[in-house]
């Protein structure tokens, strides 16, 4: 299942998954990840449908499952769906979002150019923002040529990891 997913052979992955009598959470997550990573033909949209099916079958998702769903929402530009899923993590499942979940949602806002909302979300995180979260914002700033927001992100990255060369290159490409 994972091999087909990593190779982008999604029809084969779906076929193998369909042959599993009672898929466990590892099988679900593997298929969800494969569909989320392969953005062509709206495959990430299938993630939302399968996530719903996973819940209907009584399988309890874990934090990684939510991150996969948030990534799919981000890749599809489905901000509202991602936002709802983000809050569902805490409300429906009693799990507090991690920095990875915040990073996925910040990426979603960043992909559609809503950088101020991405930055506000980052600033309001109840967990400390790590380099990955700040680099997610910096990457969005590069895409949308927002050097001002990028400089703020870079300042925080430099505090956390002053030797992170990739971030300096990313910032240079933002200018």
Is 47 in contact with 32 (CB distance < 8 Å)? Answer: yes
pTM of the complete model: 0.83
Where along the chain do its domains lie? Answer: 1-89, 98-175
Per-residue model confidence (pLDDT) at position 89: 76
For residue range 14-49, list pLDDT tens digits in order.
999 999 999 999 999 999 999 888 766 667 778 888
CA 66 and chain centroid, separation: 9
Per-residue model confidence (pLDDT) at position 80: 86
Per-residue model confidence (pLDDT) at position 40: 65
Integer Cα distance of 23 and 157 in angstroms? 40
Q: 103 Cβ partners below 8 Å, 6+ apart?
A: 132, 133, 136
Buried-state track 27-57, b at ≥16 Cβ within 10 A, e below 16 = bbbbbbbbbbbbeeeebbbbbbebbeebeee
Q: DSSP code of 61?
A: P
Q: Which residues of the chain have pLDDT under 70?
A: 39-42
SS3 content of the chain, % helix, strand, coil (to 5): 75, 0, 25
CATH of domain 98-175: 1.25.40
Per-residue model confidence (pLDDT) at position 36: 86
Per-residue model confidence (pLDDT) at position 42: 66
Per-residue model confidence (pLDDT) at position 41: 62
């Amino acid at each position: 299942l994972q091999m087909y997913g990593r190779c982008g052979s999604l029809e084969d992955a779906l076929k193998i998954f369909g042959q599993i009598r009672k898929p466990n959470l590892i099988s679900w997550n593997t298929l969800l990840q494969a569909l989320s990573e392969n953005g062509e033909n709206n495959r990430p949209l299938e993630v939302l449908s399968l996530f719903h099916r996973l819940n209907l079958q009584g399988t309890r998702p874990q934090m990684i499952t939510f991150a996969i769903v948030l990534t799919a929402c981000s890749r599809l530009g489905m901000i509202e769906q991602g936002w709802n899923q983000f809050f569902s993590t805490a409300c429906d499942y009693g799990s507090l979002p991690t920095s990875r979940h915040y990073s996925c949602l910040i990426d979603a806002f960043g992909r559609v150019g809503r950088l101020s909302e991405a930055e506000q979300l980052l600033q309001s995180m109840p967990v400390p923002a790590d380099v990955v979260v700040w680099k997610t914002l910096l990457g969005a700033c590069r895409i949308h040529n927002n050097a001002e927001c990028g400089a703020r992100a870079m300042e925080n990255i430099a505090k956390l990891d002053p030797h992170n060369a990739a971030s300096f290159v990313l910032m240079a490409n933002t200018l």
